[in-house]
Amino acid sequence: MVTPQAKTEMLQMMSFLDDFADELEDTIELFAPNPFYRMALHLVRGHLEGKVITPTSLIGAARVPYATATRRLKEMTDAGLVERRPRTKTGKSFSMHPSEALLDQWMRLSGRLRRIGDARFGRGGASQDTTDYYFGGSYLAAQSIPPLQVLAEPLKASGGLRVLVHGDPTFMVMDNLKRQFEQVIGTQIHQRAFSIDRLREEALRNAERKASRYDIIAVDLPWVGSFAARNVLMPLDDVMDIARLDPADFHTAGWNAAHCGGRPYGVPAQTTPELLFYRRDLFAEAGLEPPASTDALLNAAKVLHEPQQGRYGIAWNAARGTALGHTVLMTLADFGQPVLDLPAIAGGFDTSGLLDGDLRPTIDTPAGLLATEYLLEMLQYSPPDILSMSWYERVRPYAAGKVAMAYGYTLLAPYFELDSSSPAHGQTGYLPHPCGADATPVAPVGGYVMGIPANLPPERVPAAVEALLVFTSPEAQKLYVQNGSRTNPRYSVGADPEVRRISPIFEAVDAMSWRDELQFWPRPPMPGINRMIQICGEEFHDMLRGIQTPRETLRRAQSRAEGMLRSDKFT
């Protein structure tokens, strides 16, 4: 698999090679285009940018006569460098793709050319940190994403653009910038914001209407599968050229989570992993290392838990229902297990078959027992009101200096990053979830995509598409960050020097993405996931209250989840 770092390096290298070949061909009259080189360049770039490459476009990229290009393409295919895949059921139309061998060769070439460039021309004073992230780091370090530009023509949306969102800090930043966005798109924006549960209810109610009241709706990542199955959202590849979104620029986990059945149903507007926030100053005073394992976290929580001084070890989502349900799924992931029996793949678990049926919950398992024991022990070092703490309540005491650690989404970081009076201001470290003994660290991806309702009248769809492109563009994402947001779905925004100066959280999240720690399988976007989260949140809350034992909790949650999946109404 091509990592995001290698992908960025390869794209930068190919841009250079393409320009260099142009210069050679324009400067030296006897220099002839190399069809193998040109077609390989076009093919790999298209693959990395998520663009469909047809045989016609590939032959055109060769810059040699048609017959010559056709022969050279056949030679590449016979050599195992090019693969053909049918685009239609008839098999008469094909798309062209680089083979694993060709991708591997280009990855190696990118690395060799980078080293040659460093050796021959020097690094020009670029820092090691910069070159670790991207090839051509000195170029990117000086490159900033430009401001939003006004569209050439105003959007044609009668009565203005109607948007349904979640009432979180990032979408509230969008609302504060409404006048600026109205100038960009040339029409009024009417935004409605709801809590997470009310947002889902309104989106489902809207899907039952003859015509959608909204042009764009925000969708929590775990709902994507259900909303696709229930025809709440329209597949975006039906109404737009997906290449316009620049898919390669999105964090891989966030982009993949926007898909169902291999088709995109939304565009990442927020990619906000749940991390462990910890007080670096308190850890240093106590001589503690940042916790990489669940055992280390519990030890740190015990050491830093001083209730007589008004300070507690850790805060987390433990309120009954949806809040605790999310914690349960993520804690299972901390011990290396998804909530469903998903096939294991490199770097995690395969979620591509979530609509195929035959799903089985995996709650009552050895990993599930480890998760219950972990939550019960963590409860000992938590604030006394932990069982009523949810999304915001867990981070507020952290910002106030009342807890030493907190699990929290990056979108909640403004509570202490933007408050200079907070004891956690400038003293917070960011880590993926510490993991159990036989697992690897995971930063479970949360956040929202923005999609188009399936029942939106056809005459409004073009305006919705253009607005979607504006709202999720790098320029818009940078603007959100500059105005207080701490979520970002795009690599280019995280690499922007102005963004990186605003908060260390962006560099930390980018590093997690490159290490393949950002994952969305802990909350798989399956039909019924909302109900499964609710079940876990109810049963585990009874356990934390001492009403039932861990093993009884696991059995009850497993049984209820299995019954829910057998029902034809679980979506």
Instruction: For residue 53, give every residue at least 6 positions away whose Cβ sits within 8 Å of its Cβ, in sequence order, or none.
Output: 42, 43, 46, 47, 95, 96, 97
Q: Could you tell me if 375 and 396 are in contact, meaning their C-beta atoms sit under 8 angstroms apart?
A: no
Q: At what angle do helices 529-544 and 366-379 cross, to 10 degrees?
A: 50
Say whether 353 sits in a helix, a strand or coil.
Answer: coil
DSSP bridge pairs for 490: 250
HSE at residue 48, side-chain half, CA atoms within 13 A, is 26
d(CA 267, CA 448): 8
Which of 448, 408, 441 has the alpha carbon at shortest distance from 522? 441
Say whether 269 sits in a helix, a strand or coil.
Answer: strand
Question: What pLDDT does 520 receive?
Answer: 87
Place of tokens 């740190």: 300
How many angstroms separate the first and last alpha carbons of the chain? 33
Instruction: For residue 178, give every residue at least 6 positions away whose Cβ sits within 8 Å of its Cβ, in sequence order, or none.
Output: 189, 191
Token pair listed for 407: 């699990």
Token pair listed for 330: 């993520």
DSSP bridge pairs for 408: 275
Q: Could you tell me if 536 and 319 are in contact, meaning their C-beta atoms sit under 8 angstroms apart?
A: no
Residue pLDDT, tens place only, 328-358: 999 999 999 999 999 988 778 888 777 776 7
Place of tokens 């469903």: 340
d(CA 479, CA 246): 18
Q: Domain boundaries in the chain?
A: 4-141, 272-444+521-566
Q: Could you tell me if 474 and 454 are in contact, meaning their C-beta atoms sit under 8 angstroms apart?
A: no
d(CA 438, CA 336): 7
Question: What pLDDT does 30 receive?
Answer: 63
d(CA 433, CA 278): 11
Which of 389, 430, 486 has the alpha carbon at shortest distance from 168? 486
Return the H-helix or E-strand segment holding 283.
helix 280-286
Q: What is the DSSP string of 354-374?
A: TTSS---B--SSHHHHHHHHH
Say whether 167 sits in a helix, a strand or coil.
Answer: coil
**Type of residue at 78:** D
- CATH classification of 272-444+521-566 is 3.30.70.120, yes or no? no
Question: What pLDDT does 566 receive?
Answer: 81
Residue pLDDT, tens place only, 197-229: 899 999 999 999 999 999 999 999 989 988 998
Question: What pLDDT does 443 receive?
Answer: 95
Token pair listed for 241: 């050229």
Residue pLDDT, tens place only, 424-461: 999 999 999 999 988 999 999 988 999 999 999 999 99
Other C-beta atoms closer than 10 Å to the C-beta of 198 total 12
How would you class 1 by CB atoms within 10 Å of its CB: exposed for 0-12, middle for 13-18, buried for 19 or more? exposed
Place of tokens 């349900």: 325
Token pair listed for 313: 């070890």
Question: What pLDDT does 22 receive?
Answer: 75
Q: Could you tell me if 489 and 414 are in contact, meaning their C-beta atoms sit under 8 angstroms apart?
A: no
Q: Which class in CATH covers the domain with range 4-141?
A: mainly alpha
d(CA 255, CA 514): 14
CA 480-4-436 angle, 5° bins: 90
d(CA 165, CA 172): 9
Per-residue pLDDT of the chain (571 residues; tens, 9 = 90+): 444 455 566 777 777 787 777 777 777 766 677 888 888 888 888 777 667 788 888 888 888 888 898 999 999 889 988 888 776 666 677 788 888 788 778 777 776 777 777 666 654 444 444 334 333 333 334 367 888 888 888 999 999 999 999 988 888 888 889 989 998 999 999 999 998 889 999 999 999 999 999 999 999 998 998 899 899 999 999 999 999 999 989 988 889 889 988 899 999 998 889 999 999 999 999 999 999 999 999 999 999 999 999 999 999 999 999 999 999 999 999 999 999 999 988 778 888 777 776 789 999 999 999 999 999 999 999 999 999 999 889 999 999 999 999 999 998 999 999 999 999 999 999 999 999 988 999 999 988 999 999 999 999 999 999 999 999 999 999 999 999 899 889 989 988 888 989 999 998 998 898 888 999 899 888 878 889 999 999 999 999 999 999 999 999 999 999 998 887 555 4
d(CA 546, CA 550): 9
Question: Which segments of 266-401 are extended strands (E)?
Answer: 267-279, 312-315, 344-345, 348-349
d(CA 518, CA 381): 27
Question: What pLDDT does 436 receive?
Answer: 95
Which of 89, 508, 533 has the alpha carbon at shortest distance from 277? 508
